[in-house]
Amino acid sequence: QVQLQESGPGLVKPSQTLSLTCTVSGGSISSGGYYWSWIRQHPGKGLEWIGYIYYSGSTYYNPSLKSRVTISVDTSKNQFSLKLSSVTAADTAVYYCARDGDTVPAYFDYWGQGTLVTVSS
Amino acid sequence: DIQMTQSPSSLSASVGDRVTITCRASQSISNYLNWYQQKPGKAPKVLIYAASSLQSGVPTRFSGSGSGTDFTLTISSLQPEDFATYYCQQSYSTPYTFGQGTKLEIK
């Protein structure tokens, strides 16, 4: 059973960089065939896809966040990470990591439990 | 970006009712449409993928249909555990986008 777990600071100051890590267990990122995504949900709102990474390191970012987002992968630790720079209060959200399955069409079949990140001084 | 519009935004129903939620895409997405259920404080859970395929372990009272721009999620007989928020999501093209959600409440 694949499991994903987000970790990182729950409080980030405005203008700083939000950094989160997703640790994958029960499956290997480097086995290929899957894309690994970050998705966020503003309080009481809908879902926003941030971007994904493949085990090879290739990425795609949502153009709405592209200038501030970096997603990276560490296959040796079976982790992938999100960095979001120059954060403001509008970046306060629950951040989820998820696996984009190997089917066509793709869908998010496994999710982390989510972690709330608050941007505040 | 492909815009996904769900209706209604909220819905009150009773246990045993048949419920239908619709999702419309701003352009044709073939069958690249997925449905998720989210309960408070939890991550979304996939119910239906590829418009009409039931995810393993999901009760058969859930079904999906549609192709192109118009899709529906139907719950044939509501159970107490089905009261939640439902989202559609397109995976036809990046950036992936979600509908705004439909909150299903107990009448």
The one-letter amino acid at A31 = S
Q: Which of residues 12-71 of A touch B (CB under 8 A)?
A: 37, 46-49, 51, 60, 62-64
Q: Pick from B30, B43, B87: which is nearest to A112 by CB?
A: B43
CA pair distance A39, A117, nearest whole angstrom: 13
| Phi, psi of B80, deg, nearest 5 | -55, -35
The answer to whether residues A114 and A88 touch, using CB atoms and an 8 Å cutoff, is no
- The whole-number average pLDDT for the span B66-92 is 97
Residue-by-residue pLDDT tens, chain A, 121 positions:
999 999 999 999 999 999 999 999 999 999 888 999 999 999 999 999 999 999 999 999 999 999 999 999 999 999 999 999 999 999 999 999 999 977 888 999 999 999 999 999 9
Which chain B residue has its CA at the smallest distance from A47's CA? B98
- The whole-number average pLDDT for the span B34-58 is 97
Q: Which residue has the tokens 């809908």?
A: A46
CA pair distance A2, A62, nearest whole angstrom: 25
B1: pLDDT strictly greater than 80:
yes
The answer to whether residues B88 and B33 touch, using CB atoms and an 8 Å cutoff, is yes
User: CA A26, B36, A40: angle at the middle one, nearest 5?
Assistant: 75
The one-letter amino acid at B74 = T
- The whole-number average pLDDT for the span B79-89 is 97
Choose between A103 and B51: higher pLDDT: B51
User: Between the CA atoms of B63, B66, B67 and B70, what dihedral angle is there, to the nearest 10 degrees?
Assistant: -130
- The whole-number average pLDDT for the span B25-47 is 97
How confident is the model at residue A61, as a pLDDT?
97
How confident is the model at residue A103, as a pLDDT?
80
